[in-house]
């Protein structure tokens, strides 16, 4: 991978962040781009007491994992498109494999593995260290809704 690509990935991450942080909900979760590759986009959520589901175990709430994966899916589709297009989650399936470790940040990685004019198919995983030891895995389908692009990616040098 060349230097030029790395710079562009940073640009795309910034662009996404600017777009995503308009959302109060995303801001509250504090989701941050962690890695940008067309075959694996990663967002990160830091451990926060406010996101705990069970105070006894101090494990983060399952809803945080879901929101992280949903956002990572949007991010993974975004990097495959020339622009941000309005889209809606059509469906989502999440399998929970083990509890997150209290005190540790969680990564949410995703890839858009099929893209048509109307639909985007994605899969991903939430994990601490590697997708091969997942906290949760997920698949989803997103549908592009009618309307003009929200933000064009073509201004971002690739």
Residue 71 Cβ vs its own copies, minimum distance, rounded to whole Å: 8
Q: Does 17 bind its own copies (CB under 8 A)?
A: no
Adjacent-strand bridge partners of 70: none
Binders in 97-116 for its own copies, by CB under 8 A = 97, 99, 113-114
Q: Does 1 bind its own copies (CB under 8 A)?
A: no
- Residue 71, CA atoms < 13 Å, CB-side half-sphere: 29
Adjacent-strand bridge partners of 41: 110
Contact with its own copies (CB under 8 A): which of 118, 130, 154, 158?
Answer: 118
Considering only the stretches 9-17, 76-84, 93-101, 102-110, report the one whose residues sit in contact with its own copies under the rule CB under 8 A. 93-101
CA distances from 14 to 60, 113, 146 (A): 26, 23, 26
- Measured in residues, the chain has a length of 158
Q: Does 147 bind its own copies (CB under 8 A)?
A: no
Q: Does 90 bind its own copies (CB under 8 A)?
A: yes
Three-point CA angle 89, 157, 21, nearest 5°: 40
């Amino acid at each position: 991978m060349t230097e030029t690509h790395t710079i562009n990935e940073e640009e795309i991450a910034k662009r996404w962040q600017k777009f995503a942080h308009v959302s109060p909900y995303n801001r509250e979760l504090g989701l941050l781009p962690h890695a940008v590759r067309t075959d694996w986009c990663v967002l990160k959520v830091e451990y926060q007491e406010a996101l705990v589901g069970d105070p006894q175990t101090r494990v983060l709430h399952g809803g945080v994992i879901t929101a992280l994966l949903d956002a990572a899916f949007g991010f993974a589709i975004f990097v495959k498109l020339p622009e941000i297009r309005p889209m809606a989650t059509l469906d989502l399936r999440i399998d929970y494999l083990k509890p997150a470790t209290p005190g540790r940040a969680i990564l949410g990685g995703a890839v858009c593995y099929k893209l048509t004019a109307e639909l985007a198919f994605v899969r991903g995983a939430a994990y601490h260290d590697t997708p091969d030891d997942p906290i949760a895995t997920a698949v989803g389908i997103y549908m592009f809704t009618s309307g003009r692009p929200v933000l064009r990616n073509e201004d971002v040098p690739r």
